[in-house]
Each structure stands twice: as C-alpha cells, then as structure tokens.
Amino acid sequence: MGKINGLILKVICPDQPGIVAKIANYVAGHDGSLVEFAQFSDTLVSKFFARLEIDTSSLNVDLKDFMNGFGTLGRSLRAEWHFRALPYRMRTTVLVTKTDHCLHEILWRAQMDELPVEITSIIGNRNHCQDVAQRYGIPFHQINMDGEDREAGFKKIHEILESEQVELAVLARFMQIVPNWFCQSYAGRLINIHHSFLPAFIGANPYRQAYERGVKLIGATCHYVTSDLDAGPIIEQEVKRVQHFHSPQDLSRLGRDCERNALARGIRYHVHDRTIIDGNRAIVFPD
C-alpha cells in the first residue's frame, strides 16, 4: 500500500454554528495541514456535509490517535464520520453482460492511474467480455443467471465478492435486476450506469422509449443501486442533444458516450470519497 501520508475525512451532522472552525482547529491543533475542505450546509433540512483532505506528514500525534481523538469532537457535533488513509487502491469488481464500452472505459482509466482501483475480477452472465478480461490479465467469472438459475447466480456472485474482499462492485451495463438482499449487503458500494437521464425512461430499451417520445436531450445516469429499480442516489449524469433526424441507433451511439463519461466520473467521485449518501440523494464534492 505504500507510506500513509494523508487522510480523507467525511462528516455529516446537524447544521450548527462554528462547525468549520471546530474541525479546522482540531486539525491545526495536531499540526495537520488542510489540503482541501469542501463543505455544504443544506438549510432546507438543517444538515452539514463536509469532505476534508488532510496532510498528516507533520502530525504531533500518532495517526491512529489522531483519528480516535476526533471522536470527542464528532460526538459533540452529533456527527457521523469516516476516515480513509492515503494512498490506497479500492478493490473493485466489474459486472457485465454483452456490451463492453463501459468496461473498456473503466479498465483504460485504471491503467492510466486515473482511478485508484484494483480490479480483482470481471464477472459476466455471458462470455462476451471474456476476451477483454484476458487481454488485461484479469480473472473472468462467467455465471449462468438464466431462468431458475438467477438467484443461485447472485449468490455465487456474492461469494466471489466476499472471497475477493471487494469494496466496490460496478454494474457496467450488467443487464440484471439486483435482488433486495444483494442491494442491502452492498449498500453504498454498488454502482450502476443506466442508459437514460433518470428519472425518465427507467427499465429496458430507454433509447427506443426516448426516440418514440421525441426527446431533444438524451443522457446516462450513474447511481448507487438500491432495491428500487433505477431509483438509487444519483452520483453523476451526462447529456447530449438529439436532432430530429437521429434514429434509435443514433441515440444508442450518442448514449454510449454519455454512459462512459458519466460512469467514469461517478466511479472517480466514489473512490476518492467525494460522495456522501443522504437518503435518496448523493451529496457530491467534485474535484
């Protein structure tokens, strides 16, 4: 993992005066340096959200003591908080079916070191992406999920994720509805790319639906997966303009660009701890 040289701290708590000063003073009081302090106060619900990146190279206490010591302040703020040590690589599995454009985007960006991820395996309910996995030297698991094998298939996938100690599973055009128990097991760690600008055109064949509706914009949505179909907290969205002469095939072509970009940014925000899930929405601090 390499030398730990920093921390990411995420905080959510009731909004109240002096939060920023109290957190900044805690860091400064232990000779830490704030590299970034992004915060948002939602006045409608009186909640405070923050993401801090802290340079810990000159701390006057042990790193573990610094994190444990924050508990006193956190509890006084009635906060929920999470630390992540830097640097790190998030153990990630990609789930696919037939199309591979989103998979290629993830693998390319990981190879370029744009995403701090370690791809532990690629899982497919078809073998269409197996050659891609082989070219990158990544294990490929083909899981039969047709008909009565669907539930057993998801149990097998869950076993693989647990055995590989996966921290994030990405549904890169994985054309299966995820069962409730699986969503709950990986709540906040399961990301999907849906090929429409949600909440419009949920479910199957969204580009055909968009064509028949005569939309002027199409898009793609990267979101966390919940038991409600295509209704989890949205991380990122991308759109492109539609012209009257565009066919459903043109919409699919334009949409693939949206899918790649939205998914890449969504994963980036998640793995850099730039998202905080708050009920049905995700608070995102872009970089």
Predicted confidence (pLDDT) at residue 1 exceeds the cutoff of 50: no
Q: Are residues 199 and 257 in the same domain?
A: yes
State both tokens at 155. Answer: 């149990």
Task: Give the separation between CA 247 and CA 121, rounded to whole angstroms.
Answer: 36
Q: Which amino acid is at 125?
A: N
Which of helix, strand or coil describes residue 37?
strand
Q: Are residues 127 and 25 in the same domain?
A: no
Catalytic residue among 42, 146, 230, 278: 230
Q: Out of 24, 51, 86, pick the residue that ends a domain.
A: 86
Question: To which residue do tokens 């073998």 refer?
Answer: 127
- Structural domain of residue 27, as residue ranges? 6-86
Q: What is the mean pLDDT of the chain?
A: 93
1 occurs within a structural domain: no
Q: How many domains does the chain have?
A: 2
E strand or H helix that includes residue 240:
strand 234-241
Q: Which amino acid is at 275?
A: T
Predicted confidence (pLDDT) at residue 102 exceeds the cutoff of 80: yes
278 is catalytic: no
The candidate with the shortest Cα–Cα distance to 189, out of 201, 173, 178, is: 178
Q: Out of 69, 86, 103, pick the residue that ends a domain.
A: 86
Q: Are residues 205 and 276 in the same domain?
A: yes
User: What's the CA angle centered on 136, arms 135 and 137, to 5 degrees?
Assistant: 95
The candidate with the shortest Cα–Cα distance to 251, out of 192, 203, 193, 208, is: 208
Question: To which residue do tokens 């869950």 refer?
Answer: 158
The answer to whether 172 and 103 are in contact (CB under 8 A) is: yes
pLDDT above 90 coverage of the chain, percent: 81
Q: Residue 2: its pLDDT value, please?
A: 42
Predicted confidence (pLDDT) at residue 141 exceeds the cutoff of 80: yes
Predicted confidence (pLDDT) at residue 238 exceeds the cutoff of 60: yes
CA 4 to chain centre: 23
Least-confidence region, from 10-19, 24-33, 96-105, 208-217: 208-217
- 50-96 pLDDT tens trace: 999 999 999 999 999 999 999 999 999 999 999 999 999 999 999 99
